[in-house]
Structure 1
Amino acid sequence: MNSILTNSSHIYGDEILKIFISVLFGSILGFEREIRGKSAGFRTLALICFGSTIFTICSYLLGVDANRDRVAANVITGVGFLGAGVIFRNNISVSGITTAASIWISAAIGMLVGIGAYELAGISMLLSLFILYAMDYIQFWIDYRFQHRDYKVVLNLADSSSLLTERLETLKLRCLNIKVSRSEGQLIWQAQVSGRGDRLETFNNWLLKQQSVRSFEW
C-alpha cells in the first residue's frame, strides 16, 4: 500500500481490470442494501463505485500530476448530493442515513480501486459488509435495551399525574423532562421515557386499561 502512495507509476495500468473490480465491489455492497429494500440498492451502488473508479482513472490519465486530486475532490462533492437525496424526514424520525453512508463508502472504495489499491479496497469492502450486516444485530440489541419515547398523556382533571410516575418507577423506566399542564378541563402530562422495549410496551398496555387516561401518544 505504501508503494502505491509513494510511487505514482503503480497507479497507471490495468484500467480494464479496475473497472471490472469496481463493478464487482459495488455490486456486493449494493446487494446487501437491495435485500433490505433500501432506496439505493444493487444497481445504484454498483454504478457509484464504477463511476468513482472511472473518474479516478480520468484524473491521472489527464496527466496533470500537480492537481491529480482535483477530480477526486469533485467526486466526493457529487456523491454528497446523491447521499442527500436518499435521506428522508418523517415527523420526528429520519431515515436513509445508513444508505447515504453506503453511497459514500462505495465511492471511496471505487476511488481506491482506481488508484490500484486493490488490497485496501477489498479490506474496506469487507469491513463495510461487517458494519452493515453483522453490526445490525448489535444495533437492534442497543435499540431494544435503550429505547427513548416522548409521551403525551391526557388525563381527567380530577386525577393526579403521580400515578404515571409511580407506574414508571415500578417498571424501572427512566422519566425525564416532565411537563404537566391544564387545558380545557384536562390534565396533560408530557415526558421522555426511556428503558427496555418490553417494559415500554407494558406501560402502553397499562395506559390502555386506565379509565383516568383519555388519550395518549408517543
Structure 2
Amino acid sequence: MRELNLSQQRGIFDSTCAKPVTLIGAGAVGSQVAVMLAKIGVPKIIVYDGDAIESHNIPMSAYRQNDLGSFKVEALRAIVSEQSGLVIDTVPKMYTGEPLKGTVVACVDTMEARKSIWQQVKRNPNVDILVDTRVAEEFVSVFAIAPCDEEDTAYYEHFLYPSNKALRPTCGHHGIIHVGAVAAAAVCANLTNWWQNGKKKRHFKELCVELECVD
C-alpha cells in the first residue's frame, strides 16, 4: 500500500515524535481516535474492545454499514488499514487490568473501567500520558494526565467517582457523530502537543451543540 504523504502536517506536527498508543475502547469516540492517530503517523496502535457492532453504533462512529455484526476491533483494523496503511494490533476483549506502557487513551463507558485502567497507569514510569474521554449527549470532557505528576493525579482522582454518582451519564442513549469527533480531536491535539512540545491541556470541556467551552 502507498505510504501516507504527511507533508501538509509537518509544519504542525512531526510524526517522528509520535509514540505507540494503547487505545482502550473502540466505540463512537475510540474508532475515530484510531483513524485520526493513524492518519497523523502514529507507528503502532493496540486496540482493546470486546463488543460487536450494532446498528445504532454506525451513525456515531467510524464504522460502515457492512461492518454490522463484526467485532469492532476487526472492522476497525480494516478501516484504519484502508485509510492509512497502518495495520493496528487488536485485542478482541474488554480490558481487564493488563500491564500498560507508552501512551494510553481510554474511551470507555464506565467509571469502573476507568478505575481499572488508572490502577495500571498511576505512577507508572512506563506510561508517559493517559488521555481519558467522556461524552454524554452534547457534553465532551477530555482529561490529559501525566501519571507521575502529583498535581495531575490528584486532579484526576477527584473525577473518579462511581458511575452512579455521575452528574451526566458517560454512556447515554443519545449521541451524534460530531460530538465524538470533538472528543477524538481533543485527544489528538493533546497527544501531538505532548509528544512534540511536552505540553497538554489537563482538562478540556465543551458543550458542543452550543459551541461553548466550559470552565
Shorter-chain TM-score tier = under 0.3
Point out the structure with max Rg over C-alpha.
Answer: 1
Structure showing greater relative contact order (alpha-carbon pairs closer than 8 Å, 6 or more residues apart): 2
Q: Structure 2 length as normaliser, TM-score?
A: 0.21
